[in-house]
Amino acid sequence: MSATRRLVLGASLAALAAPALALDPGVASGAFAFDGAKFDLKHAIALSQDNAEGLLENGPQIRVVLSDIEVPIASLYGVGFPPVLGMAREAAVSGLMLEFAPKSPTAMHVTMLSKPKELGASLTNLSMANSAGIFKRLEVSANRVSGDYDDGSDVKFSFSAPVFTDPVQADLQGPAAQASEQIRVLIARAEALQRGDLPAAVALSSKVSRIGEMPPEVLKQAAQAMPQMIKDLKAVKRVVVRQSTAVALQGRGSWASLVLENGAWKVAD
């Protein structure tokens, strides 16, 4: 490669990297108390979700994590089971995950990132709505979101977060979807559950999956449902693949999500 070409290539790469490098770190302030749990919020990061899969209830949305420690943007990836939820179950992070439609911020879904008190319990979820607008102040641009929330009682916080994206890498349809690695993994795990082979099913599941907590009676019930699930998976018509997550759309409102962990696709549920 000539020196001139190397120089041009280097300049091009620098230009591509510039927007990401220019993003200021996210910050948050305030506290949130609920059901005995209290979070001191210090850091903020956001993901803009384009809803290419068509699964988000209110269309394209912004997912914002306000936390006590910095978390990587990859921990926000995924339609329904972002890795940050698993981090919260393991007490590796505490805070809030906010989800709202930026074009109509009159409703917001909030997930409390706090380890459940009881083993196997779900994280606490709250739905908030206000026809006048959820936030006291909200500003959204292509690469930044900031806002103030104050419910007039003991819930008050502010944040300013860089906004990242997770573009679709492949939209597999028809035979390409059915022959994909994602469908192979989904079928393999379903077959393991059908056999009652929980260790094999766990090995094909992501870190955030709670399948390993299934009691024997639930595992037996799951095994009975697997033949139909396998049939449905073999008929999947579309798989949407992003950088480290994927969604298999099964029709009739059913879908399955996967995450890429250490170079291997795993089922996330």
pLDDT in tens, 244-266: 999 999 877 789 999 999 999 99
Q: Which residue has the higher pLDDT, 185 or 14?
A: 185
The tens digit of pLDDT for each residue in 123-175 reads: 989 898 888 899 999 999 999 999 999 877 767 899 999 999 999 999 999 99
User: pTM to 2 decimals?
Assistant: 0.83
242's tokens: 């992003």
Q: Are strands 144-150 and 156-165 parallel, antiparallel or unpaired?
A: antiparallel
> Sorting pLDDT into bands at 50, 70 and 90, what band is 94?
very high
Q: H or E segment at 240?
A: strand 238-241
Lowest mean pLDDT among 6-10, 50-54, 118-122, 255-259: 6-10
What is the reported pLDDT for 22?
Answer: 52
- Measured between alpha carbons, how far is 262 from 222 in angstroms, rounded to an integer? 27
Q: Dump the DSSP string for 257-268.
A: EEEEETTEEEEE
Count, residues in the chain:
269
| CA distance linking residue 267 with residue 187, whole number of Å | 10
Q: Where are the alpha helices (DSSP H) in 197-268?
A: 198-203, 216-234
Q: What pLDDT was estimated at residue 57? A: 87
Angle between helices 181-195 and 216-234 (to 10 degrees): 140
Instruction: Note the pLDDT of residue 180.
Output: 98
Handedness of CA 193, 199, 205, 215 (dihedral sign): positive
Task: Supply the DSSP symbol for 94.
Answer: -
What is d(CA 133, CA 57) in angstroms, rounded to the nearest whole number?
18
Task: Phi first, then psi: give them for residue 137, nearest 5 degrees.
Answer: -150, 135
Do the Cβ atoms of 114 and 39 come closer than 8 Å? yes
Domain residue limits, the chain: 24-165, 170-268
Q: Which CATH class is domain 170-268?
A: alpha beta
